[in-house]
Amino acid sequence: MAYICESCGELTEDNKICKCVLTLKKDKLKKRTKKYFLKKKKDDNIANQILKTRNIELDYKDFIEVNFNKIYEDKFLNQNLAIKIIMEAIKNKTKIAIYGDYDADGITGTAVGLNILRALGADTTYYINNRFTEGFGINTTGVIALHKEKVGLIITVDNGISGIEGVKKAKELGIEVIITDHHEPNSTDLPECLIIDPKQPGCPSINKEITGVGVLFKILLNICKIMDKELIAKKEMDLVALGTVADMAILLGENRLIVKTGLMIWNHTKGKYGIKRLIEKTGIKKEITAYELGFIFAPILNAESRLKGKPVKGITILTSNDKNEIDKAIDELIEINNRRKEMLEEQIKIGENLIDPDKYLFFIFDNRITEGIAGLIASRIMDSYKRPTIVLGKTQEGFYKGSGRSIKDFNLKKALDKNNKLLKNYGGHKLACGLTIENDNLDLVKNLLETEGKIQLENIETVDNIYIDSKLTAKDLNMELMDCLSKLEPFGNGFNKPIFLIENVNLDNIIYMKEIHSKFLMDGIEFIAFNKLLEKGNKNSFIGIPQINSYNGRQSIQFVIKEILEEGTVICELEK
C-alpha cells in the first residue's frame, strides 16, 4: 500500500520515509555547525605561531631540520633478531619472498623490499594476494605458491599480524616467516613466528603511526648500515614517502622526516625511471608535494588491484629496469585509473541513496558496489556526513566484503572486535577497516553496529571545528611568507596546510568565472573562491589558504577562499 507524501505530493511505499524527507535530512547533516577558533598571538614569527596553533612544542628551525639519524632511534621489538635472520638468508642465498598487500602502502613496501634485497645480492621474489579471490594478508594459497618457488624465508609487509593460518602452513612446509606489519592485532592470539609490529604488545617503538612500508624499510635500512651500504636504502625513500602519504599516516615526527627526505628525491634527482615517467605522463610540472603523492600517484598505483585484483603493473613500474615495459605499464594504469574514477562517481550515488540519515553509523551494502572501491565510497560519504561509514559489495562467493572509514569519536576496530564471531574476516584500526560478512549474518551485524554507533555518538555534537593559524592582511601575503610556508612542508594528515583569517574585505570589481566561481584583486593579490558567488558591495571576512600560482613562467600569490564568514560570526580566541 502507498501513501501521498505531504511535502512533495509523490506516492511513497507504506512504512517507508519519502525520498524528499530523506534528502532534507541528509542536506541538514551536511550543513553541520561550524565553530571557528583562533589562538592568541604569542609569536611574531609566523612559522612559530603556526606550530603553536598545532600544539607543536618545537622551534621553527628545529621543526624543519632533516636529521636522518633520527630514523634509527625508534626501535621495534624483535628488530635485532629479524636483522640477523635476513642477513643470514642473504649470505646463504636462501630465496626470500616479500609477501605484500595490494594497496599503495603494500605495493611500495613490496617494491622497497625487492629493490633493497636485490641490491644486497639476495635471491628474491614476491607475492601479493588477489583482492577479490584471496582477500587480505598472508594465507595458505600464497604460501603454497611460494613453496613451489623454493622460498625459504617469507617477509610480509603491511600484513601478517592476523595471518595465523598462513604462518602455520609456512611452518608445516619448512618456510621461516618474519611478519612486518603496522595493523592492530585482532586478538591476543598471534601468528607463531617473529613479528615486527609497533602495535603488538610490548613493542617499545614510539612511532605507532608508521606505515607498513616504513616498518620494513627501517629493518632493511639497519641491515644496509651494518653492511656499509646505507645509500642503497636511502635511494628507496621516494617509495617510502609515497606509501607513507598514501596510507594517510600522520605527518609528524619520524613519518614527517621520511616523507620530507623522500620528496627531495622526487623533486631533485627524480630517482627511478618509473618515477620520472610517472611525473611526465601525469603532466605535473610543479614541485611535487605530499598532495601529489597522495592524490595523483597513489590512486594510479592502487587502480589495478581495485578493479582487477592484483597490482602487477605497479610493481613493474617501481622495480623493473625495462623502460618499454615501464612505459606500457604506466599507460595502462592511467587508463584503469580513469575508469576507476568513473565507477567511483557512479557508485557513490548508489551508496548515498542507501543512507539512513537517522542512523549514527552508516552501514551500506549493495550488489552493484565494487569491492575494490568500497573504501573510497566509505571515505567520501564519511567526509560528507561525519558519520562512521561501512560500505560492502557482494563477492563471487556470495559474501559481502568491503571497507569502513570513521571519525575520531568512534573506534571502528573496537566495534568490529565486539562482533568478531559474526565476521568471516576483518582487520584495521580505529579510523579504517576491511571486513567480510557471510550473507546470513549481514542484517544482524548491521543492527549491532548501528546500535553501537547510536550508543557512542547520540550525545556527541558533530561539528566542524576550524582552527585558524593566524590573522593576516592582504599586505602580509608576500613571497617571504610563501617561502616560510614552503619550508614547513610536507602538509597532510595531522599537519594540514596553514589557514589564515583576513577580515573586513570590501568586495569591489568581482569577476565571475563560468557563473560558479568568483575572484577579485586587493593590494595586488588575487583572491579566488571556487564554487562560490561573492556579492559586490559586501564587506566580508575570509578564511583561506595562500598559494603560488604559476602561469606562463610567471609566479604570483593567490589566496584561495575556503570559508566566507557572515557578519557576526563568532571566532573564539584560545589562550592555549
The pLDDT score that the predictor gives to residue 12 is: 65
CATH of 354-457, one of 3.40.1480.10, 3.90.1150.10, 3.40.640.10, 3.10.310.30: 3.10.310.30
The pLDDT score that the predictor gives to residue 554 is: 81
The residues near 353 (Cβ < 8 Å, ≥ 6 apart) are: none
The pLDDT score that the predictor gives to residue 411 is: 95
Residues 465 and 479: their CA atoms lie apart, in Å, by: 29
The pLDDT score that the predictor gives to residue 3 is: 61
- Domain 89-337 is in which class? alpha beta
DSSP 362-400: EEEE-TTS-GGGHHHHHHHHHHHH-S-EEEEEE-TTS-E
**Residue 490: is the preceding peptide bond cis (ω within 30°)?**
yes
Highest mean pLDDT among 14-18, 318-322, 539-543: 318-322
Answer for the pair 259, 241: CB distance below 8 angstroms, yes or no: yes
**Distance between start and end Cα atoms, the chain:** 60
Residues 568 and 571: their CA atoms lie apart, in Å, by: 9
Question: What mean pLDDT is predicted for residues 233-249?
Answer: 97
Q: Tell me the fold of 34-63+465-574.
A: OB fold (Dihydrolipoamide Acetyltransferase, E2P) (2.40.50)
Per residue in 200-217, pLDDT (tens digit) is 999 999 999 999 999 999
Q: Is the pLDDT of residue 160 over 90?
A: yes
Element (H, E) at 67: none
Q: Is the pLDDT of residue 570 over 90?
A: no
| pLDDT greater at residue 242 or residue 189 | 242
* SS3 label, residue 128: strand
Q: What are phi and psi of 89, to 5 degrees?
A: -65, -40
Element (H, E) at 233: helix 230-234
Output the pTM of the full model: 0.91
Within 13 A of 162's CA, how many CA atoms are on the CB side?
A: 22
Question: What mean pLDDT is predicted for residues 453-466?
Answer: 88
Task: Pick the range with the lowest mean pLDDT from 205-214, 270-279, 410-419.
Answer: 270-279
Which residue, 234, 225, 235, 236, is CA-closest to 87? Answer: 225
Instruction: Give residue limits of the domains in the chain.
Output: 34-63+465-574, 89-337, 354-457
Q: What is the mean pLDDT of the chain?
A: 92
Q: Which three cell numbers stand for residue 266?
A: 622526487
Q: Is the pLDDT of residue 249 over 80?
A: yes
